């Protein structure tokens, strides 16, 4: 289990497989500096919760069919407000979670068209 600490003091305990979807966290784990939990100064608790929700679903391909995962992603991305969306983009970039970054950025790009 890995402990993540948000910028506003919330802690989240999650399975390693879930956390490793973030390349940033994966590197920290490799470098073995996760003893006392990982502080994420750039991510608030609210956003981190959303990110963990996404990562939990996407562990090992989501446990359902590709179609089902796409539908889940669509629901996920359509039910967040613009402010959360923007913060998710910044956090996904900082945490280096490519699939989440693709999903969120594409959403904004679609809104611009």
Partner 1 sequence: MKNEEEEERSVHEVLLLVLPYLHSLFELLSMNRVSRLLKNAIRDETALWTNVVIEPLLSSRLTDEILSEIASKSAGKLKTLILRQCLRVTDKGLRRVVDSNPLITKMIVPGCLELTPEGIIGCVESLTKNNHKLETLHINGVYGFTKHHIAALLNYLPDVGAIDVEVCPKCDEVRMVPACSRRSCESKERKCRGCRFCVSRCVECLVCLGSDTEVQEAACGGDVLCLECWLVLPKCRFCNKPYCTSHSGLRQEIEDTDDAARPMFECQACYYRAGTNPYDAFDYQI
Residues that bind partner 1 (CB under 8 A): 86-87, 89-90, 93, 101-102, 105-106, 108-110, 112-113
Is-contact 58 72, C-beta < 8 A? Answer: no
Nearer to partner 1, 20 or 105 (CB): 105
Nearer to partner 1, 21 or 104 (CB): 104
Nearer to partner 1, 4 or 101 (CB): 101
A 10 A CB-CB count for 45 gives 17
Task: For the CB of residue 93, give the shortest distance to partner 1 in the complex, in Å.
Answer: 6
A 10 A CB-CB count for 39 gives 13
70, containing H or E segment: helix 66-78
């Amino acid at each position: 289990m890995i402990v993540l600490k948000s910028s506003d003091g919330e802690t989240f305990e999650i399975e390693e497989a879930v956390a490793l979807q973030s390349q940033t966290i994966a590197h920290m784990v490799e470098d073995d500096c996760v003893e006392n939990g990982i502080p994420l100064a750039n991510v608030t608790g609210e956003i981190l919760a959303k990110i963990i929700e996404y990562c939990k679903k996407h562990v090992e391909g989501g446990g359902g069919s590709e179609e089902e995962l796409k539908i889940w992603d669509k629901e996920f991305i359509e039910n967040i407000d613009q402010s959360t969306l923007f913060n998710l983009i910044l956090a996904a970039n900082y945490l280096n979670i490519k699939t989440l970054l693709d999903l969120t950025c594409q959403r904004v790009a679609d809104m611009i068209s």
